[in-house]
Chain A
Amino acid sequence: MPLPMVHAQGVRKQYGKLEVLKGVDLTVERGQVCCLLGPSGSGKSTFLRCINHLEKIDGGRLAVDGDLVGHRQAGDRLYELREAEVAARRRDIGMVFQRFNLFPHLTALQNVMEAPVRVARVNIAEARAEAGRLLDRVGLADRADHYPAQLSGGQQQRVAIARALAMKPKLMLFDEPTSALDPELVGDVLDVMRDLAADGMTMVVVTHETGFAREVGDTAVFMDEGVVVESGAPRQVLVAPTQERTKAFLGKVL
């Protein structure tokens, strides 16, 4: 049995007195697409952000490909790693944000090239060629020299996916990637994600798109109030849920 890509055991996180994650257990195997669903405030986005240490966990164990992300374990304590060490581990984990977060002062091509050139120290000609290929893959080869402000939301999100892929990650995290898009632009982004899944990329996707979760997801995880309520095959969780809270949530969104 190979190591799971994401392995969370009893992950806890609190903001002051407010407990947002109350012991999350979750396993994502290699090459799998895991869709996280749940009402707002359920902790699903916070959990996703813990996976690449944008949020620091307060307890429990969270490993990506066998390595703890932001910590080093010694006995029963987790010591937070230095910024440089955290940065090194994040290189293998791509992330796509709800609000795209493209760098507005750089063109689409420069956005994709930035990390390979500055972080991975790839030479510029090579990085440019690879960035061109990635933009082509997300269907935006002809928009390479456009600034983000000159692109539609759907195009921006596809550039953001290309930017994350440029670091050749082994895991991709998506934080509600289509929630900020006009309805007619959602399809293009989901198509790119579907291709990515077909290529065998391991993905954790926080989404409200139950259709996408059913079609592309290998597992669906329903979270509420900081814990995993129910998880399993999407057809089972989304069509025939066993938990009352899952039923109530799906009744509202479907």
Chain B
Amino acid sequence: MATPTHPPAAAAARPDRPVGAPAPQQLTAVPVRHWGRRVTAVLAVLALVGLIGSLAKNPNLHWDVVGHFLLADLVFDGLVTTVWLTVAAMAVGLGLGTLVAVMRLSANPVLHGLSALFVWVFRGTPLLVQIIFWAYAAALYKHVMIGIPFTTVTFVEFDTNALLTPTVAALLALGLNEAAYASEIVRAGIQSVDPGQTEAAYSLGMKPALTMRRIVLPQAMKVIIPPMGNETINMLKTTAYVSVIAAHDLMSNIQDVYAQNYQVIPMLVVAALWYLALTTVLSVPQAWLERRYGRGTARAGQVSPLRRMFTGAAGLLPAFGGSRNTTDQKG
């Protein structure tokens, strides 16, 4: 209502407003004050500061030891093995996993059954069991040979112990285990693509393999990449398990050190800091890949992954990430 402000005299004439009350136009709305929220926040921050202070001052944490070993050669060597093992195991996992996924979707019932069996075994047994199994596989077969079955013809023969070094055993265990999980992720990705896409490609004269490579897989990537990113970050941490077979990864070397100097906690802090640093770095390529394969969808923003990372929290604000999509221009 655009009525001008009334002097008190006019207000007195209205029965619904007591004399002396402010005019409606002067009222200001005040949101509920969340006193409890503020108190909790202050208490939580105090608790955190107290914890950090106590850790910083605790002599048993031996920050000098942490500082000394953070960039030590032994730790660095372990780090290189951990990164190498992560990359190699993920490569084996993704490659073999894609093969197993395609077998699972194949019309050939034998291939389908074999891939199901593979997933059943490697997903159904603990990773720790698999790691130790591969390390001790020489107890099962003393020699591995490539030749013609049921004859004495042998092309190459290896001593299993020489072949299955702890690092190779670790790679086999992690790679095969990952393949089982990756195959399910890839299968879900392939199945998420509309069958009409395959029909359209076929109707243009494209063969099945070309259709899979050019049409189906690029679209499946959008579904495959986020969980595979998680798998990679998970794998980086899971490599710590191979310390049980002394595969010279970061965790193995850390254990070697604290077995000698008994500085268990400081050495674990060193390990934790490095694992945290690596997992943080890994989230960058994941964001980049998601953007790369999100092309053509309205949701895929044109913001660079780095910028998205730094505006992550701010992304909730409309000024940043929120509304800068190149959305539909229907019509």
Contacts and interface: CB of A to CB of B under 8 A. Distances in A.
B200 interface: yes
A103 B219 CA distance: 9
Interface string B201-241: 11111111010001100110000000000000000000000
A164 B199 contact: no
Contacts of A101: 194, 196-197, 199-200
A215 interface: no
A194 B295 CA distance: 34
A118 B200 contact: no
Interface residues of A, number: 35
Contacts, number: 82
A141 B207 CA distance: 29
A152 B327 CA distance: 12
A90 B203 contact: yes
Interface in A145-181: 147-150, 152, 160, 163-164, 167, 173
B188 to A, nearest CB: 18
B329 A150 contact: yes
A119 to B, nearest CB: 5
Interface in B166-218: 194, 196-197, 199-208, 210, 214-215, 218
B297 interface: yes
Interface string A43-64: 0000000001010000000000
Nearest to B218: A105
Interface string B303-331: 00000000000000000000000111111
Contact of B214 (A94, A118, A150): A118
Interface in A116-153: 118-120, 147-150, 152
Interface stretch (A81-89, A225-233, A237-245): A81-89
B214 A114 contact: yes
B205 A105 contact: no
Interface residues of B, number: 29
B149 interface: no
Contact of B202 (A87, A94, A104, A114): A87
A91 interface: yes
Contacts of B204: 90-91, 114-115, 119, 163-164, 167
B200 A103 contact: yes
B203 A149 contact: no
Contacts of A186: none
A101 B199 CA distance: 8
Interface in B279-312: 293, 295-298
In order of increasing CB-CB distance, the 4 nearest A-B pairs are A91-B205, A101-B200, A115-B204, A95-B203
Interface of B: 194, 196-197, 199-208, 210, 214-215, 218-219, 293, 295-298, 326-331
Given A119-B210, A148-B296, A149-B298, 13 more contacts: A52-B203, A87-B205, A87-B206, A91-B204, A97-B199, A102-B200, A105-B295, A106-B296, A114-B214, A118-B210, A119-B204, A150-B329, A164-B203
